[in-house]
Each structure stands twice: as structure tokens, then as C-alpha cells.
Amino acid sequence: MSLLKTALRENTFVCVMEFVPKPSAERFAAMEAILTRAHLCGWPMTVAIGDRVGSPLDMSPLDALASFSTPVPALPHFSGKDRERHHLLAQLQRMDAAGLDQLLLLTGDRLPGHQPGQRPVRYLESVAALQIARQACPHWLLGAALNPFKYREEEGGAQYFKAEKKLAAGADFFTLQLGFDASKHQEAMHWMSRQATPRPMLACLMSLTHGRAAMLDHVAGVTVTPSMRDLLEAEAAQSKAFALARSVDRLALQIIGVKLMGYAGVHLSGIHDLKQLLALEARIEHWQAQIETLEHWAPAWHASWQMPGLSAVSFHPPQAAWRQGESRVAASLTEKTRYHLMHGMHALLFSRRNGLSKAFGWAVRQPLWTTRLGAQVLHTVERAVKQPLVGCDTCGRCRLEDTLYICPETCPKGLANGPCGGTALNRCEFGDRECIHSVKYRTAKAVRQTALLSERLIPCIEVETRHRSSWPQWFQAQTARQLSAQPAPRTQPES
């Protein structure tokens, strides 16, 4: 059994060191030195190997593991950006051959160079990837991500709904996205405690300096507020050593805080050598001697974010401060009207029950449309009808009924099950639109269909079905279900 699986099963606090593989012997040697120590403050330590963090050309997690001079306990990542089902299955096969049996599945942040309107890039989203991996490897330890650091109701509510899908799809544990808002860490823990089968969670943490805050401007979904930046700038102005010491102190306190909240461990980012690890360990031991409860911890945490002459630090953006459980937003009249019109149109043509729907189904299942020319014509017709209405990209298996008639193909990543972690105040990670899943959340709330957002697991679109009509398949699927539901014909007993 792997170190991580053992720690999670035995409720032992665990430390996961994040490693972004680069072709650098020094980086590998530094991480090996960290892992050779095997623990942080007595907590067992393993390593997570990032996937496609900077570029699709990055060293793969499995190649990185093979580059260590000695075997290391590892949690490889799988990023779904610009990937299909066969890419995941190939990685699972390689991992199985290498004796690895744990994987963190992520949709992935924006692929560098991916611009909406240019070459379509599709992402194998985490819900579908979890389903595929769980079916292929039923006994593996599978993890998923959760970003609770959301400050508008739509994006925050949609995050938690999607997390419920990840649990249903087979996630054994969650790793949170990087964040500094302790109230959001507690919020996520309270959410998990209310689930039917709570799973362990790891908090992703990093020591934050003024320089790193500037770097995080380019990391989607990470919130660093103006008041946090003011304090970091003031620390840096005093001295580099002072700023660094304060950042390590805060990280030590944050680790102690999430442990007291009930987190199963931490996923530490930004520690690149043994000296940094030992400095952090010294501060953790210092604070552990003084802090035993969250009540003792909270004043120390708040004091670590204060400096004379500066106003109190706020961890939520100035524009919004939503907390889970608050419900204030409502769909616009346009959003509600659009849903009802699309729902009515769908019932008329695709319910498979009324005369018009049955006639339409009969028409699109004629042999004519199975010819090459006929298939092209039908695809062209469907695209011409649906693209102006919903932005359809004719993926070959229409999911509009599952997504409240908001086409997943209008998400730059093609996500159907819910948002990625990269939104900011409802804005898409790409910055050119509102996240479609925020619109979907408002609509679902207005028409009392929020169960769709947490219960309907939508499989990935297979690459070979794209750019063809979905209409014949829609009606054929129903016919197949009807036939399978019919009782088998009775046979005459032998005489």
C-alpha cells in the first residue's frame, strides 16, 4: 500500500511536496534530498508530480519519476488539457506496469497559447476522467481538486455542486486549490462533513511573498487581494530577510490551522530545497508548542497578517464576499425565458413521445443519412439550426438536456459537468466572457433544477463522434433502450 493511501486510511496527517518536473539535474537532486528526510515534523512525506503545468511539452510525471536516482513515493497528476480518453488510458497502463496505483485527476488550467475562436482545444474534464479511471482501475487511490476560494454565489455554488459529482464519480480524496482564506478552508471542511460519505482533504499551501503574489497574477483561480498585497509590499520594503521570515511564519501557522480544522494533510508548493523545508519545520515546532486549539490559533494567524500603519487585511475581493449557504442571486428574465423556450422546443421535437417527435425521429433515422453525403448534409443542417441558438459545435452527442440548454461547447474548455477552478468573480479564466456555469447555476436555481448540477454525471465526448449530427443517435439510443427493456420471447418447452 502506498504511503499516501496508508496515511489517509489511518488518519495520519501527511505532507505532499509539489514537484514541477523540469529537465534539471539540480531540481531532481534537491527534491530527492527533501524526500530522503521522509518527514516534516514527524508527518510522513511524499511527492506530487505536476502534469503540463507550464506547457504540453513539459516532462511527463512518469518520465520525471523515472529520472530520480532512487524510487520515490509519488502521486502523479493527470491534466486533461488538450487530452482525450485514450491519453488517460495510456497513462493508466504505463502506471500499472510501473506498479503505481494512485493518481490526482485535474481538468487543468488554460493551455498556453489557447485562444477562443482559433483551433478548438478540448479538455478531458475531471468528472469524466474520474469515471474512466475508476472503471479501469477500481482499487486505485484517485484524487480530485476543489477550489472553495470563490466569492460570488454562482461560481462558488457551482464548484461545490461539481465536487459532489466528483465524489459520485469515484474520488477518494480532494486537494484544494492554493488559497490563503482560512474561513474558506473551514467552509470546505464543513461542506465535506455534510456529505453522505466524507472523504479526506489536503490543503494546498505556499509561503507568500510580494514577488510570489506577482507571479500568482498569472495563476488562474488564486485570490490575492489588494490589502494582502499592501502588507506584502510593506514587508518587502523593510527587508528581504524580514519578508521571507514573515512568509515562512505564516505558512507554518497555516499548516497548523488546517490540521486543527481536520484536514488530512497539506500539499506544499514552492519549497525547492532542504534548507527551506528545515526553516519551515523550525517555525512549525515553535508554534506547535504554543497552539493547541483553533481558538489559540486564530489570534496568531490574524497577527501574522498585520503591520503597524496598515489597515486590516481582507481575504475576499473588494467586490464580493459570498459564503456558502448564502443565496441571493436570481436568473434574469432573459435567462428564464430562454430556458423555457428551449425546454418547450426540446419537448416538441425530442421527447420521443408526441407525434411530431416520433415523425422527426423516423425521418432522421432513414438510410439516406447513413451515406457519406447524407451524413454531411444532416450535419450541416443541424449546425445551421443550433449554432445561432446555442453556439453548437455539433459534438455528435448532444448534452443540452443535461445542461439546461446551455451548450458546453461554448465553454472554451468544453466543460459539461461544471466549472473549472479558474474563474474569478464569475468571469471565465479566458477573461472574454462570463463563465457559462455561472449562468447555468442561476438558471437551475430559477427553474428548480439544481439537482442536475450535482447528480447528472455527463461522460466525455469521444473524438470520433465530433462534427456529425447528433439527431440519429438521439433517437437510436431510445430505440435501443426500449428493445433492451422488452422481455425476452418465450420459447416452447421441449416435447
pLDDT tens over the chain, length 495 residues: 689 999 999 999 999 999 999 888 899 999 999 999 999 999 999 999 999 987 777 899 999 999 998 888 899 999 999 999 999 999 999 999 999 999 999 999 988 888 877 777 889 999 999 999 999 999 999 999 999 999 999 999 999 999 999 999 999 999 999 999 999 999 999 999 999 999 999 999 999 999 999 999 989 999 999 999 999 999 999 999 999 999 999 999 999 999 999 999 999 999 999 999 999 999 999 999 999 999 999 999 999 999 999 999 999 999 999 999 999 999 999 999 999 999 999 999 999 899 999 999 999 999 999 999 999 999 999 999 999 989 888 888 999 999 999 999 999 999 999 999 999 999 999 988 999 999 999 999 999 999 999 999 999 999 888 889 999 999 986 544 443 434 444 434 333
Pairing of β 173-176 and β 265-268: unpaired
C-alpha cell at 34: 527533501
Q: Quote the pTM value.
A: 0.92
Instruction: Return the pLDDT at 394.
Output: 84
Asked if residue 396 lies in contact with residue 473, where contact means CB atoms within 8 angstroms, the answer is yes
In three-state secondary structure terms, 169 is: helix
Q: What integer pLDDT is reported at residue 464 of this predicted model?
A: 87
CA-based max dimension of the chain: 100
Crossing angle for the helix pair 436-446 and 153-169, to the nearest 10 degrees? 90
Looking at the DSSP assignment, which residues form a beta bridge with residue 141? Answer: 102
Domain limits, the chain: 3-303, 333-477
Q: What top-level class would CATH report for the domain 3-303?
A: alpha beta
Sign, CA torsion 443/446/448/454: positive
Q: 88: alpha, beta or left, given left = phi > 0 and alpha = psi -120 to 50?
A: alpha
- Residue 320, classified by CB atoms within 10 Å of its CB into exposed (0-12), middle (13-18) or buried (19+), is middle
| Residue given cell 477550489 in the structure block | 147
Model pLDDT, residue 486 = 43
Residues in Cβ contact with 168 at an 8 Å cutoff, skipping those fewer than 6 apart: 455, 457
